[in-house]
Amino acid sequence: MASSKAARMGEEVWKTRTEKINLEVLTLTYGTLVSQLTHDLRDPATNIPDYAAINTELDRMGHSIGLRLIEDFLAKTSSAGPAPCNNFRETAEMIAKVGFKIFLNVTPRVENWDKEGRSFGLVFEEMPVSEFVELPDDGRAQEELWFLNLFCGVVKGALEMVQMQVKAEWVSDVLRGDDTTEMRVTLIRYIEDEMPPDDE
């Protein structure tokens, strides 16, 4: 039930309260960002791209985006009446059906829960951002680069602002030749409200 409610909310917000831009602008801009990073972050000795550093950098950028994006997310969904999620399963539904819907207009499937309900996979049927992309054919990019790593950072950053520390990482990507594109999100802990240190 929660699932269809989230889907409806996502649809509603996306239709009425989201500013839209041409998809290709976003796709090409993101592609250029990653492509530029492969130029900038190179091993100085061998002059080959350091894909591990690129993944980290994308993750860091995404994290900063997520910290701010959650604000926008809450503002847009507030009048649709989002009660705080009661459990992690609801959180997963919200991320997939509302979060990704209103910012990217894609709805990943929530799958592969682990037994304790602390970890799930987001399976993307389509990913507009990687539509035109062919990873560089240098024998390493296919194994080492996560082209979409920014989105892991976004999920991490956004959830951090609502008191959830999670681990998010890609486990498969069609660009690498896998059958699916799947992001694994694992809850580490709920962050307790910490009072700021007394500055009296």
Partner 1 sequence: MPLLTTTKQYTNNALQNNPLHIALFPATGPEGQTQERNRLEYSFMLNSSLDIFEARMPSKTIGHDFGLLHALDERIALYGWLTNTGVKLVVVVDMEGRTAPSPEAAKIAILGLRNSDLTPAFQALQTAYIRLLRNPFYVPDDHDPRTNRNRGSMEITSPRYIKEVERIGKAWYPGITAI
The residues binding partner 1 (CB under 8 A) are 28, 31-32, 34-35, 38, 132-137
Cα angle vertex 17, ends 15, 20, to 5°? 70
Question: CB-based contacts of 41: which residues, under 8 Å, 6+ apart?
Answer: 49, 50, 53, 54, 57
Round to whole Å and give the CA distance between 70 and 160: 9
Positions of E strands within the chain: 109-111, 119-124, 164-172, 181-190
- CB nearer partner 1, residue 110 or residue 141: 141
The DSSP code for 145 is -
- CB nearer partner 1, residue 132 or residue 190: 132
Minimum distance between the CB of residue 32 and partner 1, rounded to whole angstroms? 5
Minimum distance between the CB of residue 43 and partner 1, rounded to whole angstroms? 15
Minimum distance between the CB of residue 124 and partner 1, rounded to whole angstroms? 19
Round to whole Å and give the CA distance between 131 and 148: 12
Minimum distance between the CB of residue 125 and partner 1, rounded to whole angstroms? 21
- CB nearer partner 1, residue 14 or residue 170: 170
Residue 15 near residue 101 (C-beta atoms within 8 A): no
Minimum distance between the CB of residue 161 and partner 1, rounded to whole angstroms? 30
Round to whole Å and give the CA distance between 167 and 157: 10
- CB nearer partner 1, residue 122 or residue 135: 135
- CB nearer partner 1, residue 136 or residue 180: 136
